[in-house]
């Protein structure tokens, strides 16, 4: 027997699911057909499903209208895990077999669909198995009653599995959405942090460049320009020279005045006030001319050192 395991309980499967139907000679079948079916049954029970399938197929070619052979072929394909082929043969029995064979094939078809992961379709065939079994109730067949109970249990079991899968799928979807939301938040936070870091780096770079420019500007202000230094020094020297020349000139004029006065013979009259004023005016005029000459000289010297850049 085979079944579908639950955590708490094994899923019910009818004994007809794995039991092949022996063809009886008393039904009037010829011996060669019975021999093939008997050999197929023995191979099936030994687990030699490929060889058993050959026996059933050969027998079915000779007697294509026997639904029991179709059922045995479907059973063997199921054991070979050829669920698509098994479903085709079980469905054939459901469509054309006797009511009892229809009930058995519907139950096994539900198991096959379950193996394929087709839960809702499996529930439909379990329900069909119950309906076919109800039609046979008046016969008092105990095996049919067992099949009906097993079909009901499997129906409820698959129904619970569907709900569990839906809940699991919903939880997975919610978890995926939550993960996506968290990922988006993390990405947004990371982006904000990156933008902040970039702005901070840019600000530091600007501050560094500004500090560098200020340092260079201060250095330029502290160090005199080469073209200005000689001129400033020369101006100071010329001013000092002008002052020295003026002082010397005044001193010479004073000495000349004193000499002139000392050389006058005694008794000679002194200069009048008007003469003294004219004399001072002359000295003052001479002093102004001397200063003008010095300024002209300085201007000529300045022009001689200027460069056309």
Domain coordinates of the chain in residue numbers? Answer: 15-157
Q: Which regions in the chain score pLDDT beneath 70? A: 1-31, 137-140, 223-246, 249-250, 253-254, 256-271, 301-309
pLDDT, one tens digit per residue, over 236-294 is: 565 566 666 667 766 776 676 666 555 555 545 566 888 888 888 888 888 888 888 88
Q: Is 5 helix (H, G, I), strand (E, B) or coil?
A: strand
CB-CB contact of 14 with 107 (8 Å): yes
CB-CB contact of 144 with 118 (8 Å): no
Q: What's the CA gap between 134 and 119, in Å, rounded?
A: 23
Q: What's the CA gap between 109 and 131, in Å, rounded?
A: 14
Q: Tell me which CATH code domain 15-157 carries.
A: 1.25.40.10
Residue 10 has φ and ψ, to the nearest 5°, of: -75, 135
Exposure string of 76-110, with b = 16+ CB inside 10 Å and e = fewer, is bbbbeebbebbbebbbbbbeebeebbbbbbbbbbb
Using alpha carbons, select from 64, 87, 65, 77 the residue that is nearest to residue 18: 77
Query: What is the structure's pLDDT at 246?
Result: 67
Say how many CA atoms lie within 13 Å of 72 toward its Cβ: 31
CB-CB contact of 103 with 12 (8 Å): no
């Amino acid at each position: 027997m085979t079944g579908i395991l639950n955590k708490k309980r094994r899923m019910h499967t009818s004994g007809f699911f794995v039991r092949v139907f022996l063809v009886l000679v008393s039904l009037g079948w010829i011996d060669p057909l019975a021999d093939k079916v008997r050999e197929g049954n023995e191979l099936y029970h030994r687990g030699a499903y490929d060889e058993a399938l050959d026996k059933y197929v050969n027998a079915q070619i000779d007697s294509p209208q026997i639904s029991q052979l179709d059922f045995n072929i479907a059973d063997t394909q199921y054991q070979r895990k050829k669920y698509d082929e098994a479903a085709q043969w079980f469905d054939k029995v459901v469509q054309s077999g006797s009511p009892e064979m229809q009930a058995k094939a519907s139950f096994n078809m539900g198991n096959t669909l379950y193996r394929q992961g087709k839960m809702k379709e499996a529930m439909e065939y379990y329900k069909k198995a119950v309906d076919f079994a109800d039609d046979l109730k008046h016969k008092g067949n105990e095996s049919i009653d067992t099949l009906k109970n097993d079909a009901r249990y499997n129906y409820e079991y698959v129904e619970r599995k569907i709900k569990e899968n839906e809940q699991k799928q919903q939880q997975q979807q919610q978890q995926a959405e939550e993960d996506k939301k968290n990922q988006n938040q993390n990405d947004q936070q990371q982006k904000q942090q990156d933008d902040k870091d970039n702005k901070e780096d840019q600000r530091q770079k600007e501050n560094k460049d500004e500090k560098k420019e200020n340092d260079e500007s201060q250095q330029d202000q502290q160090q005199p320009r080469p073209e200005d230094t000689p001129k400033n020094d020369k101006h100071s020297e010329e001013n000092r020279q002008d002052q020295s020349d003026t002082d010397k000139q005044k001193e010479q004029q004073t000495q000349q005045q004193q000499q002139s006065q000392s050389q006058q013979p005694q008794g000679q009259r002194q200069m009048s006030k008007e003469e003294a004023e004219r004399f001072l005016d002359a000295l003052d005029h001479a002093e102004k001319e001397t200063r003008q000459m010095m300024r002209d000289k300085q201007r000529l010297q300045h022009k001689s050192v200027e460069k056309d850049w």
